[in-house]
Structure formats: C-alpha cells, structure tokens
Structure 1
C-alpha cells in the first residue's frame, strides 16, 4: 500500500487543492518581477573662477602670510576662494616666492576635490603655468579638506624675481584661473516605469482668462483708464486688494448672493496705467512683462522713472513680494557705475533688501568711480544715511580681503569728494 500511495495512483487520492497549489507555484515562477539593477557613480562636479589681481606692485610688501582673497564662488554646493600671497606664505622663504592657494570658504567636513591653478600667459603665446590634479592618476586619490579654511596650493608657486620679468605680469596685472572638481557619489537605479509631468501652465490659463475678459467682476480705474479683472484673482494675489474688496463687507453682505449686474469699481490714484497693466500681467501670469517693455523706458531717464523701478514701488505698495523679487533680479542685472547710487536709493525706499545688498557691495568695490557720478550727489542731498552704509560696506570688504591701507582714502573720498590721492574731483555733469 505504501508503494501504491507513492505512485501515480496516489495522485488521484490526493485532495483536490493540492494539484492547484502546485500549478500556482509554477505560475508564480512565470510572472516573477523583472530583475532590477543599481549603479554607484562617482564623478566630479566642476566649476571655474578667474581672479584678476590689478596693481601687483602695490600689493607687494603687505607682509609674509598676508593674502589678497578673491570673491567666493560656489562649486559642488561649497564656497571656495583663491588666496594670493604677494610676499609668500612661508616665513622661511623670505618673500622670495609668491604663494597661491584654493581655500574652502564654507562649512564642510572631509570635502574631497580635485584642483587646478593656472597662471595665464598674457603675451598671447598660451604658455600658461598650470598645476593640475585633473587628467592624471593620483596615488592617494583626491585631496581632502577637513574643515572651513582648509587649503590646497603652493607656498612656492613662482619665484618673485622671475614672475616680475615674465609674460605672466602685464600692465601690473596678474590673471589666475582656478578650477575645482568636487567629488560626489550618486546612485543610479533602474526605474521600470516613469511618466513625464510638464511644467505648470496655470499662468497661461489665467492669462487667457484676463485676455478674454471672461467673468470679470471688478473695474480698476487708473487715472481714467479702466481695466477689467476678477475680484477673486486680485484678492488671492494681494492682501491689499483682499482688504479693499472683501474685508469691509459685513457678514450679511458676504453671505448675500449678488443678483445685480453691476460691476464693482475701485479707484487707483497712485499708479500710471502702463504700470498697473504690468502689475495685472504679473498677478495673472506670475512673471514680468517682456524685456522689450521693461527696457523701452530705461534709456536716458532716472531709475525711479523706469517701468522696472515703478513696478518695484507698486510691488511694495500693493504687497506683492514675488513681484518685488522679480524686479530686484531684473534691476540687479543692469547695475552700473552710473546707476548704482540711485538704484540703491530706490531699493532702500521700497524695502528691496537683496537689491540693496548688491548695490552696497558694488558701490563699495567701485567707490572711486561711483563718487564722481550724479547719482552719488543725489545720495548726498537726499539719502546721507546710505553713504554711511556704503562706508561700512567698504570697511567690511577691506577686513575680508585683509589688504589694509585703504580706509583713510575712502574716508577722504566720502568727506570731501577727493580721489584716492586726496585731490579734489569735479563731479560729472
């Protein structure tokens, strides 16, 4: 009987579900999930910065271990700076060499990176002096910087006597290119399915709603010119309009259904029609009007009279913080020696803090030219406190660069209009 149970006859005596389970197991093998894969990829995120050192001969003698620092630049999520030591970093070298280093200027732990320093040949022969980690094998791998202030570079980058008679120095100017490659590791893995989602088009649809005038229920009277809009859109975008349109209503009025066909009208008496049109464009489309419209009003007129300047004022008045930032970004790209002082005054007046910060730094870095402009005279007459802020910014920049010897000349420039040698300078007309 045991042999019969083990043979084919025993199969018929088995419970009906036993065969079904075996079939399901076989089917399970047939529909097993596709194999997955992953891959670790280690590579460098690269970025470059050019550091121009103008007035090399004046920088000499500042002292061993003292440096001139470049502006910080970002690569791989970290801040970096180039340090140039005109008298060398190593006291033992007795100022016989100039030193050049790349420093980690932000917080970081065990940041691994590759570096390249290039002293540019300014003769046009392209015989640059290059020290590079890139494109060569490294016995111990990339260099590791363990904390903020860690540096990589050369104490004996170039002998000073040779540098001063070379084609690397031209018109008392040196040019150094720096490339940083931060080592990053990412995980690449297979994705069986993915669906691309396009960018939001809500601004297009709301803009169409404004263009077609569908369902408008409010008129904005701006200097006699009337603009039709939608109360809910205005209220959603601006707390000023929300208060103007709804917060004065009683509870009964809010709950009432308006059966009349009358359209509410509000009067705006502190803005030009073309400016309000640009404000409406932003409120419906969430971006600025085209550059052609913004730049059309920018030539040969004060920054206060440009469309961008007036839009910034409107953004502040009507509580549109994103519009204010967009205007700040636009104006930031057009800062010049001649416009920075009045742009600073505009930013200060309308609480554009990021634009103000950029203007202060630009003015501090170009002070000897800025003090000769009509805009600087405008600050003297209308915004004297901003002159003090420029001075404090200059002092801060000098401390960061540790270059010294400039504060006295800056005081002279601000107090009596003199240049860096103390001579009087006639303002431009």
Structure 2
C-alpha cells in the first residue's frame, strides 16, 4: 500500500549517490649508472631505487642485472616494482618503460594499463609483493642497443593505485572558481596604484605598498611599523640585485615564482654556479625577509639539483639560509655517497668555508645527533674508520 503524503508525513527530496573508482597515478625515473659494474653480481641479486610514494603507499623499483631466477631467465635482465610498506590487498596498475636514449623514442614498454580491461588491476597483498618481468629484456640485445648509453640505463615506472569512493550528489550545485587574489594584488603591483614606498635597487625604482609588504614579511613589518622608517618614502637596497628583488616582490604579491627562476641541471659541470642562480639568491632573500613559503619553494627547486658534484655547495647554501629541509636531504645524500662526494671540488670548498658541515655529514653516517656535546669526538672516530677501511679494501 502506497504511503499517503500529508502535512504530517511530507514527501522528502530524492537523494542520489555514486561510487567512483579511479586510479591515483604517479611515476618515478630510475637511472642506473655503471651497468657494466652491476652485471655479474649474481642471479637473484638486485639494485633498488629510492622509495617513492603513489596513492598513499611507498614503492621501489628492483633491477636484476643477472635475472631474478636461475631456472629459465638467467640470460635476461629482470625488472619489478615492489610494495615497500605494509598494505592489505593494494590494487594497482603498472607500467615499466626502458628508455631509448638515441632520441628516436623507441622505448621498450611493458604496460599493465593496456591490459587492464582484460585482466584487471594486479593485487599486492603484503609488503614485498612485486609485479614485473623475469624476462624483461635479453641481456645480449640490451648491451648492443640504444637503451644502454655511456654505461647507463634509464627505467621509467608508472603506478596507478586503484581507489574507490562514494560521492553524495546534490541535485543542484554551484561551482566556485579558483582564488584570484594573487592576480588582483599582482595588478596592484603592476599598476603602482596607491604605492607609498619606493625601493631603489642599483638605480632601478620599484614602487610598492607598505601594508602588503608588512602583511607578508615580518622583516618589512618591523621596518615600517616598529622601527624608525615609518615615514621613509624611498629605501635603497644594496644586498640584492634587480632580478632577485623583482622576483621577491612578485612572490610577495602573487604567491608564485616568476618564470625566470631558473632550474640548474645537475648534469652540468658548473656546479659551483648553483650559488649564483636566481633560485639560490632568492632562497637567501626568503631567509632574510622571513618568507617561509618562498624558502620552501626554493628548497624544493634546489633539491632537484642535488648530485655528487653539487651536494656540498647546496649543503653550504642550505646551512647559511636556515633551509632545514634542504640541509637534511643534502646530509643524507652526502652520507650515502660519501666516497664520491669527498672526491668533488665542492667538498674541498665546503671543508674550507664551513668545516663544521664535514662533522655533520659524518654524524649522519654514525646516526648520532649533530648537536651532541661529543659530536666532534664521534665524527673523528667515524672519519678514522672510513680512512682505515679504504686501506684494507681489496
């Protein structure tokens, strides 16, 4: 019997929900330098990439230069992607690509994404579960191919973690546009309307607004409202060049980096020039003016440039600019690659200009707190052990 609609029993509005299943995708590039040295390490022995996160889980790429199993694939290299943290029935799609380094784009692609309609996602049930190929590529063909260049292999891995969610759909909705406050304040800077202070940087004038600067930077707030420069209309800047100051104002008003903020390639030989890049100088400016978000953005950019030849220079820069996240990454990298880092010119420069950082690297290796009262003695002990170990190597 149908329910009767009365004032005491009104008809409720219809509701609707929807189950949405999709993949959260992420990728990682694994560069294997020194393939010829890794070859011969033994069947079942692997080289692992650093951990990377996709879909709330950590993953690692395992490369077996002599094959994973001895039965039928010892003449092949094997490549697998492994779940690196505890998980329960993690469903995912995978793609492993051996990069063609000739520039012709003829990559070797093994993709689970392409077969997902037939076989569905692969389920990994526990930490250490893997997906991949025992016979990824025949070793003899690999060593004569364009996939191997300068004794280097490059493997790209894409992971798509399957997630499901229930969405409650309203019958009517109104979309809200993205915040455009940055463009409005940027226009204020461009038009110079209402400016009440001018910065003179190497003869170039930059009109600005005290309230905007004070709201963004504790240094400017102190200068304009707590100091003696309340009525000062022109300020001469001597410690920043025009390009850096322009990028600084751009961030203060727009909360973004300028297109001119350059990214240094870690493959170049001019690693000492990293400290002269706009990113490095902007990091120092962020430290001076208390712009924490700008500091983190610069740290993130410089983190991508860390390599054996550059890490000592970036570490010195991070230490001087109180860039704690960047410094921590540099210390870890230097500790993990100490022998090679010690041979770089940057390491010698760091020892001369900031010898304390050498002890901090050694304390990172020792797993001790660098501010311990016995840090100096412990670092000297670690240094002695490293030196002795080098003499005994066969």
TM-score by length of 1: 0.62
Instruction: Give 2:18's aligned residue.
Output: 39
Cα distance between partner residues in 2 of 1:158 and 1:236:
60
Q: Deviations over 1:69-103 (max 9, x none)?
A: 0122333232211223456667x969957665422
Instruction: Give 2:90's aligned residue.
Output: 111
Alignment of 1:180-199 (within 5 A): 180-199=159-178
Equivalent in 141, 149, 153 of residue 167 of structure 1: 141
Instruction: Give 1:135's aligned residue.
Output: 115
Contact 1:100 1:153 in 2 (8 A): yes
Aligned-residue Cα RMSD (Å) equals: 5.0
Distance 1:148 1:279, change over 3 A: same
Please say which structure displays the higher CA radius of gyration: 1
Cα distance between partner residues in 2 of 1:283 and 1:304:
22
Contact 1:304 1:346 in 2 (8 A): yes
Cα distance between partner residues in 2 of 1:321 and 1:353:
11
TM-score by length of 2: 0.67
1:287 aligned to 2:256?
Answer: yes
Alignment of 1:351-390 (within 5 A): 351-360=322-331, 374-387=345-358
- Structure 1: give runs of 5+ residues left out of the alignment: 1-21, 250-261, 397-410, 423-429
Q: Deviations over 1:233-285 (max 9, x none)?
A: 22211222223333459xxxxxxxxxxxx933585665235244433332222
Contact 2:57 2:83 in 1 (8 A): yes
CA shift at 1:52, angstroms?
4.7
Q: Deviations over 1:187-216 (max 9, x none)?
A: 355432222322222222223333444444
CA shift at 1:332, angstroms?
4.0
- Structure 2: give runs of 5+ residues left out of the alignment: 265-269, 368-382
Cα distance between partner residues in 1 of 2:332 and 2:107:
35
Q: Deviations over 1:123-173 (max 9, x none)?
A: 99979695858526778x64433443333456xx249xx944x31344666
Contact 2:92 2:123 in 1 (8 A): yes
Contact 2:97 2:107 in 1 (8 A): no
Alignment of 1:72-221 (within 5 A): 72-86=51-65, 100-115=79-94, 130=110, 132=112, 135=115, 142-153=121-132, 157-158=134-135, 163-164=138-139, 166-170=140-144, 178-218=157-197
Alignment of 1:327-338 (within 5 A): 327-333=298-304
